[in-house]
Amino acid sequence: KAGVTQTPRYLIKTRGQQVTLSCSPISGHRSVSWYQQTPGQGLQFLFEYFSETQRNKGNFPGRFSGRQFSNSRSEMNVSTLELGDSALYLCASSLGLAGERYTQYFGPGTRLTVL
Amino acid sequence: TQLLEQSPQFLSIQEGENLTVYCNSSSVFSSLQWYRQEPGEGPVLLVTVVTGGEVKKLKRLTFQFGDARKDSSLHITAAQPGDTGLYLCAANFGNEKLTFGTGTRLTIIP
């Protein structure tokens, strides 16, 4: 069974631009969660989608948004990029909601650099 | 805001030695997971503990969930270079989200 895939793996943008990251979950998984990982703040929860609905949201500004499609694939968008948005963005998929103790399987991440 | 503190932040030891890393919170959590992350990859789940006082073993790794459900530890026996990585604990505080700890970066020197 194929794992979680994320595209692109690396991305360089400049301040003010916007970016869209993509995540394809494991086949059959209906939940997709997004996390931001930085050396200073560690791994922080962005949001979780289940059956195309946002079920949980972390403490990030409205510049961070996401969506999930009917095939469970998910995208996240960051608008008006800031230098502090440079991070590894991780996607994780699971059969059910992460809060209900379903195992999350992480992708390799997208490394975003904002110049 | 629930916080998970991990200690130590960095640990570098010789191959064959034993080590323990800790995960602590001021709030009670309903379950706790331990992950290992290697460079260029996402975290991989090692274990989930749900019962206070629970001990789980995974080969040379022993995981313990504190009786008060506010802390957990990971003990590695006879560390090997393949154990090198970032160890993360993640807790469920009953709010449908996973909160990750600050991480322990472990380096095993051959």
- The pLDDT, as a whole number, for residue B3 is 84
Provide the token pair at A75.
């995208």
Tell me A33's DSSP state: E
Closest residue by Cα to residue A32 from A40, A24, A20: A24
| Interface touch B97/A58, C-beta < 8 Å | yes
DSSP states along B27-53: S--SEEEEEEE-TTS--EEEEEE-STT
pLDDT in tens, B38-87: 988 999 999 998 888 899 999 999 999 998 989 999 999 999 999 999 99
- The pLDDT, as a whole number, for residue A1 is 64
- The pLDDT, as a whole number, for residue B43 is 95
H-helix or E-strand spanning residue A54:
strand A53-57
Provide the token pair at A23.
């995540």
Segment-wise mean pLDDT, segments of 10 residues, chain A, 115 residues: 91 97 96 94 93 92 96 97 97 87 90 97
Mutate to test the interface with B, among A26, A43, A53 (most CBs of B within 10 A): A43
| Interface touch A107/B42, C-beta < 8 Å | yes
Nearest CA in chain A to B36: A106
A101 touches chain B (CB under 8 A): yes
B44, B88, B97 ranked by CB distance to A99: nearest: B97
| Interface touch B88/A4, C-beta < 8 Å | no
| Interface touch A101/B95, C-beta < 8 Å | no
Neighboring chain B residues of A43 at a CB cutoff of 8 Å: 43, 88, 90, 100, 103
- Number of CB pairs < 8 Å for A and B? 56
- The pLDDT, as a whole number, for residue B60 is 97
- The pLDDT, as a whole number, for residue B29 is 86
H-helix or E-strand spanning residue A97:
none
- The pLDDT, as a whole number, for residue B6 is 96
CA dihedral angle for residue B21, residue B26, residue B30, residue B34, rounded to 10 degrees: -20
